[in-house]
Structure 1
Amino acid sequence: MGTVAALRRYPVKSMLGEALTAVKVTEEGLSGDRKFAVLDEAGAVGSAKHPRKWEPLLSCRSRLTAPGTARVELPDGTALPAGAPELDERLSGLLGRRVSVSDKSPEHGTLERAVPAYDGGVPDVLRAGASVDGAGDAVTTGRVAPGTFFDHGTVHLVTTASLRHLRRAYPAGDFDPRRFRPNLVVDVPGGPGFPEDAWPGSTLRIGEALFRVTLPTPRCVVPTLSHGELPADPGIMRAVAREHRVPVLGLGRLSCLGVYLDVLEPGAVRTGDAVTRGGCG
């Protein structure tokens, strides 16, 4: 069906991550993925889904240096270990308020998402109930999964077929997969765009690991933002909204790209590994 074209891990939530050639997959996802997050004193978990508050995190890069430890490279090139007081001080200056890096998900931590203007960017029921924060942004508020810094599924996959479709629909756009922050980029040659629409409920064998495909990935504003050397492009998500709005649970038709996976059998995954689809489990 396809092969693993790229593997990526994001040790600190909403920071740039690292490219891998091999990774251990555990029941909790890729080893070291979203191990840390930036928290503020109000209990908010740092997420670029609320760009006005957290977009500067996408100018920082995180790398795992050993199990349970990571280093953060700041925009000026300074690299500091996660948990170091100097890193917290520097990030506080970057974000304009007191923050700290933690590997402990707060019991009552909140996760804010800006409400995008394009259709399908947020369920209608949440759009109707959005509040306006102190900066004047319409936001919805939720929580990360208990005990983790994940929003939904523990593993995120996008296909080259879907990215090719979007490039044809919006030739001026830069559909570099890094904009969509996947763990797995799967090369699916030829065929129609969005082959993953048929996958929810089925299993995928990828390398030594077995996954269940749970649901399509609703997209927020993050792909439109600047990611390191990738410039901001507000047309990216407008193209996704035009080309690919699909039903998600009972939330209506949302702008989606990629799918979320749960881990059924842990194991190693490497670039070049075959991806094969099984039946519904």
Structure 2
Amino acid sequence: MGTVTALRRYPVKSMLGEALTGVAVTGRGLHGDRVFAVLDGAGTVGSVKHPRKWGPLLRCGGRLGSTGEVTVELPDGVALPAGDPDLDARLSRLLGRDVSLSNTPSDIPGEHGGVLERVVPEYEGGVPTALRSTATTDATGAAITSGRVAPGTFFDYGTVHLVTTSALARLRTACPTGDFDPRRFRPNLVVDLPDGPDFPEDAWTHASLRIGGALFRVVVPTPRCVVPTLAQEELPADPAIMRTVAREHRVPVLDLGRLSCVGVYLDVLEPGTVRIGDPVTLLGSA
């Protein structure tokens, strides 16, 4: 059906990630993916879904070493290992408040840990309609909604995120001036489907995918926030990216209504190794 053309992981949530040629997939997703996050004093998880508060994180990069250590490269080029007190101090200066790097997600009901903030975008389908009325304005002046990361993790929802070249090509056709580089959407897997329809993943929900040596279940389409519009690496800021998605591809997501989506979230059914060039096979309902 298709072929894996790119693999990426993000050792620190909302920082730049790293390109891979092959990776072990465990029950919690790609080995080393989102194993750390930046937390503030209230335990709020740092996410560039709230760019005014956490945007500088997208100028940092996370790397996983061969022995499992995570290193953060700061915007000035300084690279420090997780656990170094100087790293927390530098991140705090970068963000203008006390923060720390943590590999311990908190999902305790009633506690502050695990809270995830998202800015409410202007385009339709950026958040469920019912949530717009519950948005509050915080100290940055942004209208935000709050949720929680997936229990016991720093993931927003599914453990693996997949984007197809077919979907990106369709969006590029709708907005030729937009740069629909897959990195904007922060996928773990980019799959080339040369003969597929515009958005082939729309038909995959609840199906299973064999990708290399791993088996996945497709959980739900991936609702998109403002992150694809932000400047990252050499890609400039481009608000037209999500305006195009909102116009071209709003689809039902659970009971949340029609949301602006690119890609799908996956859960891991069978761990294994995935490499660039591996075949992707749709197996039907899992």
Q: Match of 1:251?
A: 256
Query: Structure 2-normalised TM-score?
Result: 0.97
Q: Match of 1:35?
A: 35
1:38-49 aligned at under 5 Å gives the runs 38-49=38-49
CA contact (8 A) 1:153 1:261 kept: yes
Q: Match of 2:89?
A: 89
Write the deviation string for residues 210-234 of structure 1: whole angstroms up to 9, x where unpaired. Answer: 0000100000000000112111101
Change (3 A) 1:67 1:141: farther
Q: Match of 2:136?
A: 131
Alpha-carbon distance between aligned partners in 2 of 1:148 and 1:235, rounded to the nearest angstrom: 31
CA contact (8 A) 1:32 1:67 kept: no
Write the deviation string for residues 96-147 of structure 1: whole angstroms up to 9, x where unpaired. Answer: 1011101001343210000000000000111111111112211011111111
Q: Cα distance, 1:255 vs. partner?
A: 0.1
Alpha-carbon distance between aligned partners in 2 of 1:139 and 1:157, rounded to the nearest angstrom: 26
Alpha-carbon distance between aligned partners in 1 of 2:225 and 2:68, rounded to the nearest angstrom: 29
CA contact (8 A) 1:203 1:278 kept: yes
Alpha-carbon distance between aligned partners in 2 of 1:189 and 1:170, rounded to the nearest angstrom: 20
Q: Cα distance, 1:253 vs. partner?
A: 0.3
1:9-88 aligned at under 5 Å gives the runs 9-88=9-88
Change (3 A) 1:67 1:260: farther
Which range is displaced more, 1-10 or 103-112?
Answer: 103-112
Query: Structure 1-normalised TM-score?
Result: 0.98
Secondary structure in structure 1 of the residue aligned to 2:171 = helix
RMSD across aligned positions (CA): 0.9
CA contact (8 A) 1:157 1:259 kept: yes
Alpha-carbon distance between aligned partners in 1 of 2:155 and 2:68, rounded to the nearest angstrom: 16
CA contact (8 A) 1:112 1:140 kept: yes
Identical-pair percentage: 72
Secondary structure in structure 2 of the residue aligned to 1:56 = helix
Please list every run of 5 or more consecutive structure 1 residues that lacks an aligned counterpart in the other structure: none
Q: Match of 1:152?
A: 157
1:1-281 aligned at under 5 Å gives the runs 1-106=1-106, 107=108, 108=111, 109=113, 110-281=115-286
Q: Cα distance, 1:191 vs. partner?
A: 3.5
Q: Cα distance, 1:69 vs. partner?
A: 1.9
Write the deviation string for residues 36-73 of structure 1: whole angstroms up to 9, x where unpaired. Answer: 00001121100000000001100011110145420011
Given residue 97 of structure 1, which amino acid in structure 2 is its aligned partner? Answer: R
Secondary structure in structure 1 of the residue aligned to 2:56 = helix
Q: Cα distance, 1:19 vs. partner?
A: 0.3
Alpha-carbon distance between aligned partners in 2 of 1:134 and 1:77, rounded to the nearest angstrom: 30
Alpha-carbon distance between aligned partners in 2 of 1:163 and 1:67, rounded to the nearest angstrom: 35
Tell me how many residue pairs correspond in the alignment. Answer: 281
Q: Cα distance, 1:35 vs. partner?
A: 0.2
Secondary structure in structure 1 of the residue aligned to 2:65 = strand
